[in-house]
């Protein structure tokens, strides 16, 4: 059985990328969405604690404020250590490890991402990876995938120009993840959960467009959760997908929480790039998280550099 989670980081901001993450765990039959927290408790904790050798897997909005970038990095690298033969040493190696190599040119198209950052912290991550390896083996489970998709402002603006709104743009990223998973795990039972954004409650027609050869069964549609299922290989009786779009899923599903942390890590490293580049050129410039409450201030203060460097506004600022 594959427990699959999809979540995003950066849907609301004005600056920086929208990053969507996917995590997949192959588990024994009968595991629930929450079972990994219990089964892997020797290597995993739901709450970040200083000096805890375990990785923190939980709501990124709670882990990042207390553990910072180091907590996100430790978790992401330790999990990648279950999939890849070695830890990445650079940004591009990290993105290749997260199956995000195709977006490297998008980053290189703007000056603040042209210099690769290094990936520190291997000592803590290596120790955590060893714990996780032992815990997964003891539980009869494995990390099957950890990947991200990166939509830079220029790419998002093209999407908006085509007529999509923010929720629809995110849904397109989610659809790409689901299509990848259905192809990557043929013949397996996939139990997927997507952290729901916005007020949409019905996804049946959208799923039918995404998987035109499948008969999508609607299990339930409501204000908090909407669930669907279908077969990936109907002629053989093998392969099923059930997907639930749920509000607050990163607190209910281990896989969603893991996906959210990987997405948040990449998003925050990208924002560090942006802030480092502009603060190196403007003395006293206050850093920004890129959200609407502060982005206008930041944009006013960097206006001279943007004009002087010939930076296109749509490469820096989202239209929506």
For 196-239, the pLDDT digits (tens) are: 877 789 999 999 999 999 999 999 999 899 999 998 766 655 68
- Average pLDDT for 68-91: 92
Mean model confidence pLDDT for the chain? 94
CA torsion sign, 291 to 293 to 295 to 298?
A: negative
Write out pLDDT tens, residues 163-195.
999 999 999 999 999 999 999 998 899 999 999
Q: What is the pLDDT of residue 80?
A: 95
Q: What is the pLDDT of residue 117?
A: 82
Q: What is the pLDDT of residue 197?
A: 77
- Average pLDDT for 95-108: 95
Strands (E), 59-205: 142-151, 189-195
d(CA 79, CA 146): 8
* 2-9 and 18-26 beta bridge pairing: antiparallel
Among 68-82, 116-130, 258-272, 285-299, whose mean pLDDT is lowest? 116-130
pLDDT > 70: percent of the chain: 98
Q: What is the pLDDT of residue 56?
A: 97
Q: What is the pLDDT of residue 237?
A: 59
Q: What is the pLDDT of residue 234?
A: 63
Write out pLDDT tens, residues 278-304.
999 999 999 999 999 999 999 999 999
Q: What is the pLDDT of residue 233?
A: 67
Please determine, for residue 93, whether its predicted confidence score (pLDDT) is greater than 80: yes
Q: What's the pTM?
A: 0.96
Q: Determine the length of the chain.
A: 320
pLDDT bin (cut points 50, 70, 90) of residue 86 is confident
Please determine, for residue 85, whether its predicted confidence score (pLDDT) is greater than 90: no
Cβ count within 10 A of residue 163: 7
- Average pLDDT for 256-269: 97
Most confident of 35-44, 55-64, 76-85: 35-44
Question: What are the structural domains of the chain?
Answer: 2-272 (3.30.420.10)
Residue 289 structure tokens: 């998280």
Higher pLDDT, residue 197 or 257: 257
pLDDT > 90: percent of the chain: 86
Residue 76 structure tokens: 């992401």
Residue 316 structure tokens: 């820096």
């Amino acid at each position: 059985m594959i427990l699959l989670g999809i979540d995003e980081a950066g849907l609301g901001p004005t600056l920086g990328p929208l990053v969507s993450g996917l995590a997949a765990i192959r588990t024994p039959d009968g595991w629930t969405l929450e079972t990994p927290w219990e089964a892997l408790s020797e290597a995993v904790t739901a709450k970040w604690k200083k000096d805890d050798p375990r990785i923190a897997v939980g709501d990124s909005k709670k882990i990042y404020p207390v553990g910072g970038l180091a907590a996100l990095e430790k978790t992401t690298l330790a999990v990648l250590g279950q999939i890849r033969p070695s830890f990445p040493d650079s940004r591009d190696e990290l993105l290749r490890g997260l199956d995000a190599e195709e977006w490297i040119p998008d980053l290189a198209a703007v000056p603040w991402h042209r210099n690769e950052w290094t990936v520190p912290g291997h000592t803590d991550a290596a120790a955590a990876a060893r714990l996780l390896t032992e815990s997964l083996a003891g539980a009869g489970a494995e990390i099957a995938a950890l990947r991200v998709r990166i939509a830079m402002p220029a790419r998002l603006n093209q999407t908006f120009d085509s007529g999509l709104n923010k929720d629809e743009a995110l849904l397109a990223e989610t659809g790409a993840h689901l299509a990848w998973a259905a192809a990557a795990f043929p013949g397996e039972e996939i139990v997927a959960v997507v952290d729901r954004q916005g007020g949409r409650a019905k996804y049946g027609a959208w799923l039918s467009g995404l998987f035109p050869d499948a008969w999508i069964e609607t299990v339930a549609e409501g204000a908090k959760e909407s669930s669907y299922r279908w077969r990936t290989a109907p002629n053989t009786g093998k392969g099923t997908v059930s997907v639930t779009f749920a509000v607050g899923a990163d607190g209910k599903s281990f896989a969603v929480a893991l996906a959210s942390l990987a997405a948040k890590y990449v998003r925050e490293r990208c924002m560090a790039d942006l802030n480092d580049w502009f603060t190196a050129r403007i003395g006293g410039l206050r850093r920004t998280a890129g959200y609407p409450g502060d982005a206008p201030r930041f944009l006013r203060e960097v206006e001279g550099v943007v004009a002087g460097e010939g930076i296109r506004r749509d490469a820096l600022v989202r239209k929506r």
